[in-house]
Structure 1
Amino acid sequence: MSLNLASKSQFILQSSSPLPSTVSSVCGMSVYMNDRLEWVTQAVDSVLNQTLSPSLFVVVLDGNVSEEISLYLSKKEKQHPNMILVHGLVNRGLSVCMNYIIEMTLPLKPKYFFRMDADDICVPHRFEKQITLLEKHPDVDILGSALWEIDETGNRVGIRRLPLTHSKLLKSFSRRCPINHPTVAIRFSVFERGHRYMAEMLNTQDYFLWIALAKDGCKFANVREPLLHFRRINGFYKRRGRGKSVNEFKARLLAMESLSQRSLQNYCYALMVLTLRMMPAWGIKFAYKCDRFLLNLKRHH
């Protein structure tokens, strides 16, 4: 799914250094109006200070952002030759921004694409760890990891683990998104085959992409070690909203259809989760904790 010319014309590239002719890895991140400078700073520094930094760190300013964030990013871009900024004239959403980065960097023949969010923090060896594992396991196309959940002040409040092997991940598709999106590393060969984020999706983009990749025979895996600190802010349980809840329900139905996982148990689970998602914040919080408990219980058995 290529970006049309109208979409491409809505992005302006800012780079103080000449773009390289080839790169080995690309990290893509989007920044938005309501992002906090402190968190953006921590996210950017955690990428630039990796033990193995990405060849190209592409940050999209998706529409208007605060002046302090814009000035900060411009300063960092001038200081780091491997960092470039892309200015979106209007807010287009994560899917369009990531697709633009993919399209823009494909001619540079990169091997790996990393995702990053503007309020999360990579552990210092995240990229080195994932690249080492991908080099060691050429059959794996999408590699995620466990993550630490942190609060607004950066304190660890939990850990989120998912199944590790492809066979176990595949079985879980109809129940939950099997990859922590901000932790993911994807082989660019996946995108060379034509796969992209669904541009019309404003949320749950990753879940639908993973289903399409699984249907196409791509192999998944997760690293047991947490490689990212994921910001679970106070409004986390309110953010999902009706739209995201319905999209998650649709994704579960699609996974059942696409991956031949239709069963009464899976349908009941999908309906139960949809019902819980429609509850007030306290109900969503309770459901989230139950899901984490059941996932960990299943993992230990």
Structure 2
Amino acid sequence: MAVYAGDRLDWVTSAVESILAQSYRDFLFVIVVDGVVDDAIHAFIEQTQNENANVVLFKGTQNVGLSQCMNYVIEHVLKQWPDIQFFFRMDADDISVANRLANQVAFFKQHNDVDVLGSSLVEINEHGKIVGQRLLPLHHEQILKVLPRRCALNHPTVGVRMSVFAQGHRYRSELMNTQDYFLWIELCAKGFKFANLADTLLEFRRVNDFYKRRGLNKSLNEFKARFFAMKALNSLTLLNVTYAFAVILLRVMPARLIKLAYKIDRFFLNR
């Protein structure tokens, strides 16, 4: 879990406590302070480390972004704790349900062919009220088919076998967003297997400026990722190309129209 300037103490506290309260207990919780953060947050994280033997804290003097934070943790774990089997994502403003790790670890152990595993989630607002949900394709073949049009995993819910990273695969460090989308495409093209659990294992924080924060840069990266997927997965079709251009045009429209389109998209996706 990476923590940034601008994060809220109450949300960080909820995120951290949701991991420490997991029913599955055999895990290492790595928190990365990515640059300067609020003093109260810094004090809380240090206290959390002091009180929990399975919490490891890394501090960065400047903000480098999520990709570099994740890659740093991956490299460190491969060197220092080679017996660790899985890598799980967590954001500092989300909440993992108590059986998240237990369910995902159990699935991994029961399905040795699955390398990357996500789950469904619910979206919550600033006050913790549920305002939406994200249900994604469950099986690899479905995920592979959808990937040229959308990122078919909820990144904050994802677990990855460390054996994937041991083979040299990493997040693209130059990307400040969509790093997960590019990685999933690369891994699918290499033959790694994906799955999603139908279980809702995470509460994802969708705040008021969510639609504005997606921004043109993220939209352009998603546009590039879609064509990268079409090429890498041999799926250059009229439907996929049309979808890519339709989304990039939509993203330059006013935020209220983007919000409406997002809700429509979620309606059809969840069905």
TM over 0.5: yes
The unaligned stretches of length 5 or more in structure 1 are 1-28
- Counterpart Cα distance in 1 of 2:256 and 2:10: 28
Aligned counterpart, 2:160 = 186
Alpha-carbon distance in structure 1 between the residues aligned to 2:27 and 2:128: 28
State the superposition RMSD in angstroms: 0.7
Q: TM-score, normalised by structure 2?
A: 0.98
Task: Quote the offset at 1:282 in angstroms.
Answer: 0.6
Query: How many matched pairs?
Result: 269
Contact 1:123-1:229 at 8 Å conserved across structures = yes
- Aligned pairs (5 A) from 1:144-163: 144-163=118-137
**Residue type at the aligned position of 1:275:** L
- Residues 1-301 of structure 1 mapped to structure 2, 5 A cutoff: 29-107=1-79, 108-109=81-82, 110-297=84-271
The TM-score, its normalising length taken from structure 1, stands at 0.88
Aligned residue identity for 1:263? T
Question: 1:158: how far off?
Answer: 1.3
Deviation at 1:265, TM superposition (A): 1.3
Once residues 167 and 112 of structure 1 are traced to their aligned partners in structure 2, the CA distance between those partners, rounded to angstroms, is 23
**1:87-124 Cα deviation digits (max 9, x unpaired):** 00110000000000000000212100000000000000
Deviation at 1:183, TM superposition (A): 0.2
Query: Residue 156 of structure 2 aligns to a residue in which SS?
Result: helix
Q: CA offsets per residue over residues 58-110 of structure 1, 9 Å max, x none?
A: 11100000000000000010000000110001100000000000000002121
CA distance in 2, matches of 1:289, 1:129: 28
Following superposition, the deviation at residue 290 of structure 1 comes to 1.6
Identity among equivalent positions (%) equals: 54
- In 1, the alpha carbon distance for the partners of 2:61 and 2:160 equals 27
CA distance in 2, matches of 1:76, 1:53: 16
Runs of 4+ more than 4 Å apart: none
AA matched with 1:273: V
- TM-aligned CA deviation for residue 295 of structure 1: 1.2
Separation in 2, partners of 1:177, 1:77: 34
SS at match of 1:233: coil
Gap regions ≥5 residues in structure 2: none
User: Within 2, Cα distance between the matches of 1:250 and 1:77?
Assistant: 40
Give the SS at the match of 1:240.
helix
| Alignment partners' CA distance in 2, 1:294 and 1:127 | 28
Q: Is the 8 A contact 1:150 1:232 kept in 2?
A: yes
The one-letter code matched in structure 1 to 2:230 is M
Please give the alpha-carbon distance, in whole angstroms, between the structure 1 residues aligned to 2:25 and 2:203.
17
Distance, in Å, in 2 between the alignment partners of 1:117 and 1:289 is: 23
User: In the alignment, is the contact (CA less than 8 A) between 1:47 and 1:53 conserved in 2?
Assistant: no
